[in-house]
Structure 1
Amino acid sequence: MDPRYPRERNVDRRRLLAAAAPAAAALLAACSDSAPAPRRPGRRRRGRPRALVYRGPAVCPGCAESAAALLRGAPRPCAVTYCGPRERVPLSADSLADAEVYVQAGGPDDVDGAWTEVRGSARAVREWVRAGGRYLGFCMGGYLAGSDPGFGLLPGDTDAYTTTPGASVRTSRDTVIAVRWRGRERHMYFQDGPYFDLRKGADATVLATYGNGTVAALVAPFGEGRVGVSGPHPEADRSWYDEAGLSNPDGVRLDLGHDLVEVTTAASGRR
């Protein structure tokens, strides 16, 4: 693990960066999109898909690493490169052009603040996905796939699941939540994640719903690309549960995360 980003222990990784707004100017300078036209994603090829995982002020310590581990351990493993304001690779049109997958991991409890950190790269991300890129968003990354604020990649928008009628969770505390994933009840790590409010007739594959029927995870096309998002955390490993004093009735398994990765990154026509 990169010593600049040590694994935090006994710390709420999703709230630790809520006061990180002063870093916005540095990120916007490093990650602004200056390209006048969209760049097509890296050519899909046999072997490992190339994935960019954002690591910086818009995500919490450990969240980018967990997302990267999920991709590396997927049935078709990804070759991961971190991008961000303190990485060797910035989030830009040029770096995206060499990748097939872009990952926005979980972040602090402040959607507006997280958006401030990445909005300088919004055009680059949006046009790259439109040209065929794959976007994966977990929790905060799911919020940011929406449009108020966000990258505007979904056929609809997002809002907090905890505010929906009949929600089984009403607080922002870390917890374990029941969902129906492909018709089967499963339990997932959850911390104030979004639900996805799809437009009527939207072209989307719903992978999971919360107990009240709202959408918890989906994959949808965007131009020639694809967007996969989840409100709960399918990338949460055992350390997340241990740090929060939680247990999962199903055991700590990553198969749901791998399902989301596979459907999102599959070749055109496969779902």
Structure 2
Amino acid sequence: MTYGTYDAAAAGQRRLALVYRGPASRPGCPEAVAELLAATPWNLEVRFTGPDEALHPTARNLSDATLYAQPGGGTLDSAYRTLRRQHRVVRDFVRHGGRYLGFCLGGYLAGATPGFGLLPGDTDQYIASPGASVHDERDTVVPVTWRGRRRTVYFQDGPLFELDEDADATILATYDNGTVAALATRYGDGRVAVTGPHPEATADWYTHHGLPVRHTLDLAEDLVDAVMRE
């Protein structure tokens, strides 16, 4: 099966991006990712996919897509129980040239224990790592170094990424304790980009929790660029 074939004349040469929305996500998370993708210069036709959406996350529907995005959500174990039937579908999609974009829970799900197994390594909880600046699951902000620049990003119990010694990956960002906060890598003929923090967070995410608003969409756009480039 060949992926990324949505560039039809009827779609004005736009490429289909599917954003998961369903029980393995939280309200606001899929919408923020969809808004981000629609605003990028990658000419993406953004649609939601999920058990209650018009497009279900099946192999047939993903065969028309260029990108599949997994937004933030609840706990990893619960989310994977919901999505485990899509394990092979997502892996095959990326292996044959598709793009996987994961935010927070979507980053955890790119790992292997449990997850889709798309990374040259695995994930773990940042809040449980030595020297972490946050030690609980509250909504907050964390400092990261993103491509050499110090930034503060919205965060809620996101993952860190543990890379194998021989991993071929581009580290986009690190947390204060030096662990990996965002990266891009290949999987088969496709690409994967994941982040623990939420650079896609909109202003209302911050104000709802009494946090000072940080403008980090440039980081989210960098993540999209990292997964979409050849």
Q: Residue 226 of structure 2 is aligned with which of 263, 266, 269?
A: 263
Q: Residue 129 of structure 1 is aligned with which of 94, 109, 117?
A: 94
Residue identity in the other structure for 1:223? G
**Any gaps of 5 or more consecutive residues in structure 1?**
1-38
Q: How does 1:172-251 map to 2 (within 5 A)?
A: 172-248=137-213, 251=214
Whether the 8 Å CA contact 2:6–2:64 is kept in 1: the answer is no
User: Does 1:64 find its partner at 2:36?
Assistant: no
Q: How does 1:94-173 map to 2 (within 5 A)?
A: 94-108=60-74, 110-173=75-138
Whether the 8 Å CA contact 2:126–2:132 is kept in 1: the answer is yes
Alignment partners' CA distance in 2, 1:240 and 1:65: 12
Q: CA RMSD in A?
A: 1.2
1:47: how far off? 4.7
Which residue in 1 is equivalent to 2:4?
42
1:139: how far off? 0.1
Residue identity in the other structure for 1:88? A
Residues 148-183 of structure 1 deviation map (CA, whole Å, 9 limit, x = unaligned): 000000000001001111111101101111000001
Alignment partners' CA distance in 1, 2:77 and 2:150: 32
Change (3 A) 1:242 1:205: same
Alignment partners' CA distance in 1, 2:27 and 2:79: 14
**Any gaps of 5 or more consecutive residues in structure 2?**
none
Higher strand share: 2
TM-score by length of 2: 0.95
SS at match of 2:51: coil
Alignment partners' CA distance in 1, 2:159 and 2:13: 33
SS at match of 2:91: helix
Alignment partners' CA distance in 2, 1:240 and 1:77: 26
Q: How many residues align?
A: 226
Whether the 8 Å CA contact 1:126–1:152 is kept in 2: the answer is yes
Alignment partners' CA distance in 2, 1:142 and 1:214: 14
SS at match of 1:165: coil
Alignment partners' CA distance in 1, 2:78 and 2:86: 15
User: Does 1:93 find its partner at 2:62?
Assistant: no
Change (3 A) 1:91 1:100: same
Whether the 8 Å CA contact 1:92–1:121 is kept in 2: the answer is yes
Alignment partners' CA distance in 2, 1:122 and 1:175: 31
Residues 79-116 of structure 1 deviation map (CA, whole Å, 9 limit, x = unaligned): 111111101110000000000000000001x2110001
TM-score by length of 1: 0.81
* Percent identity of paired positions between Structure 1 and Structure 2: 54
1:60: how far off? 0.3
